[in-house]
């Protein structure tokens, strides 16, 4: 590892990330699979994914002049009750804000040692095939339910990327280690997890409770159980969570207790803002939360 790569690695771990790695910026290799997924309608009504598909073919479309992609993963707690309430990652601070802030600090440190002409931070908001780049950066492998799995941190992970014009040594890939395990597939109550990393968003409770704007289809309402925001069923059961030794990023740990479905139904806009401002739940708004709570 070069001194600069070691510096980045050390800084990333010091910031609380569970994993860090590097990939050479080049054409995306999984774009055909992604386009087939879109063609089959599995993105549901997330029309922006179709609009941005062409851009995802090359990270240079996101950051012209990029040479390397720095990938990081942050661990959040494994949900002890994945069949109800709020997804574990949403019980702490909004990971988008947390990871962006830490990557800005990392970019500032890099600029002190090697002035950057290109420095683009991507956390769930840029047209980048994030899981592919995490895998190519050696952060782990893709589980059968589509999530990244890391041997030291399990699969309760959120990702971030810093695209730079530095020549960094590519990290070694990690072998797939799921074997014959199908815990994640069996845990999905709607059959959304199809295996081989494919998920039909139209059936996924995470998509339905967060991204979907309309009424939740009748055929999935009974499967929601007590779900209010997101779904951790396929990630919480992964055996690698129990084996992992990497620490949970403190900012992503639960900041306070979460309200019940009845409490959500009784909330005012002011109460919703006071309780959820600064968390991932805030982005769906009170109306959609009450839609979920009425079914829960």
Question: 119 forms bridges with which residues in the sheet?
Answer: 164
What letter would DSSP give residue 150?
Answer: B
Burial (CB count <10 Å: 0-12, 13-18, 19+), residue 140: buried
As a whole number of angstroms, the distance between CA 256 and CA 208 comes to 25
Q: Which residue has the tokens 């009845």?
A: 262
Distant-in-sequence, close-in-space partners of 246: CB < 8 Å, separation ≥ 6: 18, 19, 75, 150, 152, 153
Q: How many CB atoms lie within 10 A of CB 94?
A: 21
Report helix, strand or coil for 191: coil
Is 253 a catalytic site residue?
A: no
* Residue 112 and residue 11 in contact, taking contact as beta carbons nearer than 8 Å: no
Report helix, strand or coil for 107: helix
As a whole number of angstroms, the distance between CA 199 and CA 119 comes to 31
Catalytically annotated residue among 58, 97, 124, 253: 124
Token pair, residue 49, equals 């994914």
User: Vertex 174, ends 9 and 43: CA angle to 5°?
Assistant: 95
Q: Which residue has the tokens 């589980």?
A: 143
Catalytic annotation, residues? 124
């Amino acid at each position: 590892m070069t001194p600069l790569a070691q510096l980045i690695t050390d800084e990333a771990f010091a910031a609380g990330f569970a994993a860090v790695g590097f990939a050479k910026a080049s054409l995306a290799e999984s774009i055909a699979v992604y386009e087939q997924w879109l063609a089959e309608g599995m993105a549901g009504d997330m029309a922006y994914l179709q609009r941005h598909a062409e851009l995802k073919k090359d990270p240079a479309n996101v950051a012209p002049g990029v040479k390397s992609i720095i990938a990081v993963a942050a661990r959040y707690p494994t949900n002890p009750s994945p069949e109800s309430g709020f997804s574990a990652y949403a019980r702490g601070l909004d990971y988008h804000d947390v990871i962006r802030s830490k990557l800005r600090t990392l970019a500032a440190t890099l600029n002190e040692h090697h002035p950057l002409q290109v420095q683009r931070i991507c956390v769930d908001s840029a047209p980048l095939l994030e899981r592919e780049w995490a895998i190519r950066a050696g952060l782990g492998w893709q589980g059968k339910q589509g999530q990244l799995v890391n041997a030291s941190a399990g699969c309760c992970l959120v990702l971030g990327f810093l695209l730079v014009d530095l020549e960094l040594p590519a990290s070694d890939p990690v072998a797939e280690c799921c074997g014959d395990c199908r815990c994640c597939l069996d845990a999905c109550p709607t059959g959304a997890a199809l295996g081989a990393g494919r998920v039909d968003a139209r059936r996924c409770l995470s998509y339905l409770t967060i991204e979907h704007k309309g009424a939740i289809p009748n055929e999935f309402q009974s499967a929601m159980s007590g779900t209010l925001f997101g779904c951790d069923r396929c990630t919480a059961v992964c055996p690698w969570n129990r084996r992992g030794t990497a620490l949970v990023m403190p900012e992503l740990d639960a900041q306070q207790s979460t309200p019940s479905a009845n409490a959500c139904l009784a909330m005012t806009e002011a109460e919703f803002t006071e309780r959820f401002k600064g968390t991932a739940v805030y982005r769906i708004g009170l109306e959609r939360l009450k839609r979920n709570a009425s079914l829960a």
